[in-house]
Amino acid sequence: MKKYAILGFGVVGGGLAEVMADQAQKLAAAAGEPLELGYILVRHDYPDSPFRAKFVRDFSVIENDPEVAVVAEVIGGSDAAYDYSRRVLLAGKSLVSSNKQLVAEHGAELAALAREHRVSYLFEGSVGGGIPLLRPLCRCLAANRIDQVCGIVNGTTNYILTAMDTQGQDFDTALKTAQQLGYAEADPTADVEGIDACRKTAILADLSFGWNVDPDAIPTTGITKVAPADLELARALGYTVKLLGRAARTPDGCCAFVEPHLVPLGHILASVNGVMNACAIQGSAVGEVVFCGPGAGAHPTASAVAADIADAVRHTGNPMVPDLGAPGGALSPADELVSPWFIRADAAPDAVLAAFPQARPVYGTSGECGFITGPMTRRELAAPFAAAGGRAVWRVLA
């Protein structure tokens, strides 16, 4: 029997304790031996919790218990979580985490520490919630050169864009509804400005291309500037709008960025609505494969963390540590990536056609027009965009 501990008893921590208890026999079979909950590190009292007998407030109790083999860090952030995570690994215990900020900012360091101390470091729940994504990327697709990963990796923004597209809501109304339903935080900045998606994109890039990407270096644009008119015109052109995190192989390494895209209605990502997540991976041998499912929530994320706990126990003595890559050179500029573009403009038709002779504009209820350009870089787009009276420009997923 192996003992495990949980750091944090919020949404994911509470869900993890429940999943581990509900699926105890199945997880024991996966781990190769029974698993016992030793402790839950908490900051507040939960007097009605069925797990209250396992609560501790002093992390050193977990750190110094030699019977604790695996620790699940589900606190979030990168302050206390970083300190605890280092101490877990230094104590010779395996670490599993759903903390995308910590993995994106310090994952390579923690992975090196895990290898040094011969323990596992796993973080399946950090990207895509309950979707099996990172392990298939690293193991099931090991025979492939990964050329691109492209995904809807934030459920809050996907819910807002879906509401704007299918219900005609403006951004503020859709955000308020998302907050009322518990899909968005009181402070939604990390979601709507693309910060959460950026961290997840950094992790996907690390695992795909073999060198460690600094999330602060990834150009990131959120959805706050997407207008109802963009969605109306996009739909008239045969597209919808999704916030995508993308990382692509380039001759110099990779290019990574987060921004709203027009996605063709026939593409599988266009049908991923509400709070669902999806990631398309382009492999040299397999072609494109798509992983889709719930990207957040107590039980979906707990599902991934619980599986990591079982894997860490099964691999005692033969630890699992995904390769997050070594520090590399600068990212290739996203603005140099050739793409078609969507433009919303309010100029007269002759001005639009003078700037973009091949344009086939459609007109919306606002009186503005929208059209798709040919493939070009953002720099090449700048002058004709201004000449056409451009009001908004978004990349098109080709």
Residues identified as active-site: 200
State the Cα–Cα distance between residues 84 and 213, nearest whole angstrom. 23
Give φ, ψ of 176 to 5 degrees.
-60, -40
Task: Determine the 3-state secondary structure of 5 from DSSP.
Answer: strand
Task: Determine the 3-state secondary structure of 245 from DSSP.
Answer: strand
CA angle 226, 273, 133 (to 5 degrees): 110
Tokens encoding 329: 């050179």
Are 299 and 307 within 8 A, CB to CB?
A: no
Half-sphere exposure of 176 (CA within 13 A, CB side): 5
Are 255 and 377 within 8 A, CB to CB?
A: no
Q: What element of type H or E holds 6?
A: strand 2-7
In this structure, the strands spanning 2-7 and 35-41 are parallel
Q: Tokens 């994320």, residue? A: 301
Other C-beta atoms lying within 10 Å of the C-beta of residue 281: 23
Strand partners, 394: 342
Are 307 and 124 within 8 A, CB to CB?
A: yes
State the Cα–Cα distance between residues 17 and 9, nearest whole angstrom. 9
State the Cα–Cα distance between residues 371 and 397, nearest whole angstrom. 14
Q: What element of type H or E holds 153?
A: none
Tokens encoding 186: 């009181």
Q: What element of type H or E holds 297?
A: none
- Give residues with Cβ within 8 angstroms of 166, minimum separation 6: 273
Strand order from edge to edge, sheet including 121-122: 55-56, 35-41, 2-7, 68-73, 94-97, 121-122
